Amino acid sequence: MRRRKSGSKLIRLIEFILFGALIFSLSNMIMAQAKIMKVKSENSKLTQAIDEIKNSNEKLTEKNEVLQTTIIEKKDLYAEKMKDVKIAYLTFDDGPSKNTLDILKVLKDYNVKATFFVNGHKSLTHLYKKIAKDGHAIANHTYSHDYPTIYKSVANFKNDVKKLDSFITEITGNEPNHILRYPGGSNNTISRKHGGKNIMKDILKAMDEEGYVYFDWNVDSTDASKYRQDKDKIVSSVLSQSKRARNGKAVILMHDLGPKITTVQALPEIITGLREQGFIFDVISKDTYKTQFTKIK
């Protein structure tokens, strides 16, 4: 009798344990099911969000394509319009000098911006500052302008150009614009004496690889033909050559050097005469029509 009692107790205990285990696993299953449902719903939300992003992305791509086409069309239109615009680029080589302030005064009076292809003159830092402050472009004409040094080797030339870049940046705070004019022009033959017959070709290639764009000229003021050229000769040279300048773009060579007083005196008539011919004035940038005597490629 006692044994039976204790036997049924054991069975009830086992039943209880089994029932507990069943409840436990059932509740686990329900919880797992709920988790799955939650993940599924999150997943479908994410899929929906992805679809929306894909959609808007497609729309943006379409818009972008339309914009790109518009930009290209506008650029073409601008280039087409600028083709007919006559632009004069006054350029002054070899400065600064004792004439720089006088040149700047005329340019200011006539509201014209110019490009100064300067060299390195340690004692004239105030003039570089003034040129930059007045809104003119300062471009590279090598630090030393010394033919035997700069045209001796590619490395010499590069060093001299970089030396001027650092010098100008230190004074004006402006980063180099990588616009260059070769002393004597890109087609000079003097360089051969110092660096051999291929020296210009090698330098042109090397500087192009360094990201420099160089500009010769298509209008020569002739102020370097004599120690002091006649003022009227400078005016007539500039005005007659500009009239024939290709594409209506005149890159005018002048000098900012002590003896070149007649260049300063000629400036007002040059500016007035060019305006009468329909020219506007601009500074040289990398996009400027390239007057180059020697092509690199």
291 closest CA partner among 216, 200, 232:
216
How many whole angstroms separate alpha carbon 118 and alpha carbon 131? 10
Rg for the chain (alpha carbons), in Å?
38
Q: Which residues bind Zn ion (CB under 5 A)?
A: 93-94, 183
Residue 259 CB, shortest distance to Zn ion, in Å, is: 14
User: For Zn ion, which is the closer residue by CB, 172 or 188?
Assistant: 188
Distance CA 164, CA 157 (A): 11
Query: Which pair of tokens denotes residue 28?
Result: 């686990």
Q: Which is nearer to Zn ion, 94 or 160 (CB)?
A: 94
Q: What per-residue string of b and e applies to 137-150 under the rule 16 or more CB within 10 Å gives b?
A: bbbbbbbbbebebb
- Least distance in angstroms from the C-beta of 93 to Zn ion: 4
- Cβ neighbors of 104 (< 8 A, separation 6 or more) are 130, 131, 134, 136
Compare residues 181 and 249 and give the one whose CB is closer to Zn ion.
181
Read off the DSSP letter of residue 139.
E
Minimal distance, residue 173 CB to Zn ion, in Å: 25
Nearest approach, Cβ of 181 to Zn ion (angstroms)? 7
Least separation in angstroms between CB 257 and Zn ion: 9
Nearer to Zn ion, 252 or 279 (CB): 252
Nearer to Zn ion, 146 or 269 (CB): 146
Nearer to Zn ion, 146 or 202 (CB): 146
Using CA of residue 110, residue 116, residue 121, residue 122, what is the dihedral sign? positive
Tell me the β-bridge partners of 243.
none
Instruction: Please report the beta strands in 121-222, taking only residues with DSSP state E, as ranges in sequence order.
Output: 137-140, 179-180, 213-214, 219-220
Question: CB of residue 149 vs Zn ion: minimum separation in angstroms?
Answer: 14
- Which residue, judged by CB position, is nearest to Zn ion in the bound state? 93
Nearest to Zn ion of 93, 216 (CB atom): 93
Q: Taking a C-beta distance cutoff of 8 angstroms, is the pair 132, 138 a contact?
A: yes
Q: How far is the CB of 256 from Zn ion (least distance, A)?
A: 10
Taking the C-alpha atoms of residue 95 and residue 22, their distance in angstroms, rounded to an integer, is 99
